[in-house]
Amino acid sequence: MPTEDVTLVLLVSNVQPEIAESFEVGQSITVDGTAATVGEVIDVEVDGALSAVPDADGELHAARSPIMKDVRLTVQGKGTFDDGAGCLFGSERVYLNSSLNLRTQSIQFKAVVMDLGPIGN
């Protein structure tokens, strides 16, 4: 299978503001504990962490935290798609909704794969 350009969207949920602010465009992302490079950060979006909050009647409503943050990272890298069974980055197979332990040069973090696909499709 050929290696191709891939874009991933990763969600890093409910982190302290200092951690959220440490992500930057241009950082290299690798799978923690392996040599598998996922790619380079091309976009960073930070918003208040989303959570469910009950109203006076006990109904749940979505609310953004004024303290904790959600970070959405768009990452561009090279991977191998094989028969619709996820994407290989080195020996690491990644699927939509995969929970991954990742790292940059300075941050170790957990993220969920929200979107994954070849560039141009």
Side-chain half-sphere CA neighbours of 14 within 13 A:
5
Tell me the sheet residues that pair with 60. Answer: 54
- pLDDT tens profile 69-90: 999 999 999 998 876 678 988 8
Question: In this model, does residue 55 exceed pLDDT 90?
Answer: yes
Q: How far apart are CA 60 and CA 100, in angstroms?
A: 29
Enclosing domain of residue 54: 4-118
Strand 4-15 relative to strand 108-118: parallel, antiparallel, unpaired?
Answer: antiparallel
- The count of domains in the chain is 1
pLDDT at position 63, please?
93
DSSP for 65-103, please give it: EEEEEEEEEEEEEEEEE-TTS-EEETTEEE-TT-EEEEE
Q: How far apart are CA 40 and CA 27, in angstroms?
A: 6
CATH code assigned at 51: 2.40.30
Side-chain half-sphere CA neighbours of 11 within 13 A:
15
Task: Give 121's pLDDT tier (boundaries 50, 70, 90).
Answer: low
Please state whether the predicted TM-score (pTM) of the whole model is above 0.85: yes
